[in-house]
Amino acid sequence: MRYKNVYFLGIGGIGMSALARYFKAKGFEVAGYDRTRSMLCEELEAENILIHYDDSVELIPTIFLQKNDTLIVYTPAIPEDHSEFQYFKQQGFTIQKRAQVLGEITRLERGLCIAGTHGKTTTSTMTAHLLKQSHVDCNAFLGGIAKNYTSNLLLSDKSDLVVIEADEFDRSFHHLSPYMAVITATDADHLDIYGTHEAYLESFAHFTSLIQEGGYLLMKKNILLQPRLKSGVKLYTYSSTEKADFYAENIRIGNGELRFDFVTPTEKICDINLGVPVLVNVENGVAAMAIAWLNGATADELKKGMESFAGIRRRFETHLKTEKLTIIDDYAHHPEELLASIKSVKALYADKKVCGVFQPHLYTRTRDFYKGFAEALSLLDMVILVEIYPARELPIEGVTSKIIFDEVSCQEKLLTTKNELISTLKSQQFDVLLTIGAGDIDTYLSQIVDALK
C-alpha cells in the first residue's frame, strides 16, 4: 500500500476502530473524527490515535492533509454534507468505505467471512478465538469487543487467515472476496436499504458468488437462500437442531452449564462445554467450530477453545449476579435476535421473574418489525420500553416505541424514557433484568447496577 497515513471519518464505530488499530499496528500514522466520544474512542486515544469531535477541517492534523500520502476511510453513517468529507472530495483524496478496505485485505490474505442477519458477531468472534487458541492462528476484524482479548482486532505474524464480519448493510459485503464464507441467517432486515426481502436475499446470493474458486460456503441448514457458487466451491450445511454436515446433538443444560456433542463429516467430538452457556450459542458454536475444523484445528483444541470462550462485550453480558438479582445486557435489535435472547434468559432462569428493558434501534426497523418485536417481548414477565434510538435516521411520523407497546400482550408493561428509566426500575419488582438494544442503552448500565444492587 502506497499510503503513509490513514484518516478515518467515523473512527469510533466498532468496525472502523478495528481498521484504525490494524493500520496503527502496521506502522501507519492514524487519526480521525467522530461525533461522540465513546468508550471505544477513549481506548483508541489511549493507543496514541488522535481523534477530534467537531466537524472542522482546521482540526485535521497537518500530516493528513497531504493528498498523495493519505487514504481516507469513511463509514456510511457520515452525512454527505459533512465538511471534512466534502473537503477530501473536493481536494481529490482517495476515499474508500471501510468495506472496500476490508475487501483489499481479503484479496491479500485468506478471508473467513461471516455473514447473516444475526449471529455473525458471536460466530466470527468464536471462530477467531478457536483459531487463535489453536496451532492454526489467525488475524481478525470483529464486530464486537472480544472479552478474551479486550479488542476487536487480532493480529498474527504466522497466519494468513483473516476472520471478518461481513456486514450486509449498504451491501458492504459485496466488496469482499472470501476464501470461506458462513451465512447464519437471511431473515429480512435493512429494508430501508433493500426495499424488499427478495432484494435482501438477492444480495446474499451475490455475496456467495464472490467466494473464491476452491473455497467453501458453510450455510445454516434450511435457510431461505439459493447460493450462486463458482465451480470448485464446496458447500456445507450446519445446524443445532437437526442432522447436517456439521451439527450438535445431545444438548444438556443444567447447573449453569451447557454441554453438547459436535458432529463433523468424519468424527464426533463429545462433551463440548459452552463458555457462554446460552442456547443460541450452540448454533453459533457449531458454525465457528466447523470453520476452525475445516482449517485444521484439532478436536482437543476445539474443546478447550469453546470452554475458554468468554464472550463479547454487549452480547448476553452479565453485569450483576447476586442471590437476589441478575442483570444481563444484550445487543439484540432484530425480532429474531430478541426472541433468541429472551428465550435463552427464560430457559436459564425458568423459576424467576424476568423484566426486559428494550430500546428500539432505528425508526425504519421499528416501522417494519414492530409486531415481531412485540411478539418476542410478550414472552417476558415484565416489559419496559424506552424511546427509539435514531442512529443515522430522522423521525418518521407515527413511529414511536408506543406502536410496539400497544401490541405487547404481557400484563406488566410500562412506557418510559431513558431519563426516567432508573427511577422506573427502582419502583418495580423482578429477579432478572435484561437490557436489550443496539443503541446507547448500555451507557446506563453502571447507573442501573448502582441503583439496584
Report the CATH number that the domain containing residue 372 is assigned in CATH.
3.90.190.20
Examine the domain organization and report whether 122 and 85 are in the same domain: no
Residue numbers of the domain that contains 354: 317-452
Is residue 104 situated within a structural domain?
no
Examine the domain organization and report whether 301 and 321 are in the same domain: no
Residue carrying C-alpha cell 487480532? 154
For range 394-417, the mean pLDDT:
95
pLDDT tens digits along 297-318: 999 999 999 999 999 988 888 8
410 vs 182: CA distance, rounded Å: 36
Residue carrying C-alpha cell 476502530? 17
119: left (phi over 0), alpha (psi -120 to 50) or beta: left
Q: What percent of the chain has pLDDT over 90?
A: 79
In the predicted model, is pLDDT for residue 407 greater than 90?
yes
Assign residue 292 the CATH number of its domain.
3.40.1190.10
What confidence tier does 118 reach under pLDDT thresholds 50, 70, 90?
A: confident
Q: Report the length, in residues, of the chain.
A: 453
Per DSSP, the three-state class of 398 is coil
Read off the C-alpha cell for 437. 438494544
For range 144-165, the mean pLDDT:
93
Q: Which of 287, 308, 329 is the last residue of a domain?
A: 308
Read off the C-alpha cell for 22. 490494524
In the predicted model, is pLDDT for residue 448 greater than 90?
yes
Q: Which of 97, 132, 152 is the last residue of a domain?
A: 97
Examine the domain organization and report whether 53 and 122 are in the same domain: no
In the predicted model, is pLDDT for residue 169 greater than 90?
no
Per DSSP, the three-state class of 424 is helix
Q: Which of 65, 97, 129 is the last residue of a domain?
A: 97
- The count of structural domains within the chain is 3
For range 46-70, the mean pLDDT:
97
Residue type, 367: R
Given this model, what pLDDT does residue 15 score? 87
In the predicted model, is pLDDT for residue 440 greater than 80?
yes
Q: What percent of the chain has pLDDT over 70?
A: 99
Examine the domain organization and report whether 291 and 342 are in the same domain: no
Examine the domain organization and report whether 265 and 128 are in the same domain: yes
Examine the domain organization and report whether 358 and 244 are in the same domain: no
Is residue 103 situated within a structural domain?
no
Examine the domain organization and report whether 60 and 116 are in the same domain: no
Given this model, what pLDDT does residue 135 score? 98
Assign residue 80 the CATH number of its domain.
3.40.50.720
pLDDT tens digits along 135-144: 999 999 998 8
What confidence tier does 195 reach under pLDDT thresholds 50, 70, 90?
A: confident
CA angle 264, 266, 270 (to 5 degrees): 55
Is residue 59 situated within a structural domain?
yes
How far from each other are the two terminal CA atoms of the chain, in whole angstroms? 52
Given this model, what pLDDT does residue 87 score? 98
Given this model, what pLDDT does residue 374 score? 97
For range 361-372, the mean pLDDT:
94
Examine the domain organization and report whether 19 and 124 are in the same domain: no
Q: In what order do the strands lie in the sheet with 139-146?
A: 151-154, 139-146, 161-165, 110-115, 180-183, 216-220, 234-239, 246-254, 257-263, 268-273
